[in-house]
Structures are given as structure tokens and as C-alpha cells.
Structure 1
Amino acid sequence: MNAALTSLVAVFATLAGSTLTFLFQRHIARQAERFARDQQLWHERIGAYSAFAAALTDFRRSQNDRWHLEQADPGGPQFLSAREASYQRRADATAALCRVHLVCGESALLRLAQEALEATTGIHGAQDEQDRAGRGEAARLALERFLAGASPRAR
């Protein structure tokens, strides 16, 4: 009887050990999967935020170029080319904004990105040099507010 009890305890201990090992390994696997997913999302966010900042900076430069060339020769070929370039830079910035939207998950941060795009869009409508400079500075500051909001998510 003693040998049977010992065998039964041994079988139970083996089953308990196997079950605990399985549960522990499953927990570790889930943690590793979550960590990998979080790392991937972190990389995606950094890529999206920096691509948006770069696209918006290019768009702001093209808006300034467009404004200056329009002042010099409103119907000239250089202005028309600059206007087309600004349309393309806006499309690039809008595409980058869409990517931010996909990885962002925060409405406040998305709102900051949209405000930065809108501020940049308005540069070409300036009435004079002082207005253009003010609008350009407002666009730059709007981008800085976006980056300040994105920064904690990128660390």
C-alpha cells in the first residue's frame, strides 16, 4: 500500500509540475509577445511622427517659396511650378498625417497634428511679408506643439 501511495504522489507531483511549467511558459510567451508588439508599435510611432514632421517642414518651405514667387510674378512659370510643388508637399503631409492617425491612438495628439497642417496650409494666403512671417512662425510653433505632445510616446 505504501508503494502505491508513493507512486500516486509521484504521478500527482509530476502532473502538478508539468502543469505549473506549462502555465509559467505560457505566461512568459505572452509577455514576450506583448513586449515585441509594444516595441513594433513604438518604432511605428517614431517613424510616423518623424515622417509627419519632415513632410510638414517641407510643406512649410514650399508654402514660403510659393508666396515669395507669387509676389514676384503671380502668373509666371516659377510661381506656377512652386504652386504645384506646394500641392504635392501638402499631399505628402496629408499622407503622413494619415499614418499618424493610424498609430496615434490619442485624439489630443491627432488634433495637434491637424492644427499644424492647417497652420502650414494658410501661409500662402498672407497679405504681406509680416503676415507671411507670422503665419510661418505660427506653423512652426504648431509643429513644435505636436512634437512636444508626441515626445512622451516616443520614449
Structure 2
Amino acid sequence: MDEKRRDRDAGGRARNARPRDGLGRPLPYGSTGIARQPEGVVRTPEETVREAQRLLDAGMPFHAHEVFEDAWKSGPEAERELWRGLAQLAVGLTHAARGNATGGARLLRRGAAALGGFASARPYGIGVAELIGWAEELAEQVAREAAPDRGVDPVARAPRLRGPVR
């Protein structure tokens, strides 16, 4: 395949068709990768939380971010900041796991800030206040221990969306 030609989906939109690893990094064409989450899936909030937690527990925060992104784009306006903040936490963990301390810390902090308006509530049983604390702590850790060749373990550092955060 011509590496300079952009992949397009059936609608003609640019869409990278390269296979991805468990952290969402593109692999060379022809490699075996991890199946991406289908885009545009409308789930109930319960299904969103359950699927995202499954992916986080499996060490696939990039894929969890895609689940949250679907909820952010399809959910009610009043909840968009909740789902956007959760997506940012997941992609922050993704960057931290890839060894990108600067990007990971930045996105973890941005996600925590986005969730601030939900901190006193537990929408859909999500421990927002606990997640904010988890994100701020992890952001400090990755910023302090920045090493481009060493990321955090995404399974060990995966948060619990409901209940105590690890």
C-alpha cells in the first residue's frame, strides 16, 4: 500500500486503517493487531461504564477512551462533560502507559478538571471524586518519574469507575 495515500472510510473520511496494538499505537500494515472499538455505538450509560471498565481492566485504555467518546458524542448535552472527562482520563492513561509523561499528565489533569462539576455526585454509580484524585495522583507520578522508554503499567494503574480506585 502507498504509505503516503490516506486511508478513507466508506464515506470518504480520512480513517487510518493500520492495525493497532493494545495501547492504540499504529502497527505496520499487514501486522496482526487488536481489533478497534466500533465507532458510533450508542450504549446505555450502564453499558458504557461496563464496557469501558472491561477494557481498562484488560490494559486497553485507548479502547476505553473510544467507548467514552461514543457516549460523549451521543449522550444528552448535560452529560457530555462527564463522558468527555472520562475519555480524557483514559487517553491520559494511554499516553502514560506509552511513556509519554508530558501528554499523559496533561490529559489526566484536563480530564480531572472536566469532571469537577460532577465531583459531588455519583452519576451512574461512577466515583467521580475518587477518579479525580486518582488522575491527579497519577499525573504527578508520571510527571515526576518521566522516562520516555518506560510507561506505567496500564493494568496495574487502571482505575475502578465504581467503588474504590486502585
State TM-score, norm by structure 2: 0.36
Greater relative contact order (CA < 8 Å, ≥ 6 in sequence):
1
Whose radius of gyration is greater, 1 or 2?
1
Compare the two structures and name the one with the higher helix fraction: 1
Question: Could you tell me the TM-score, scaled by structure 1's length?
Answer: 0.38
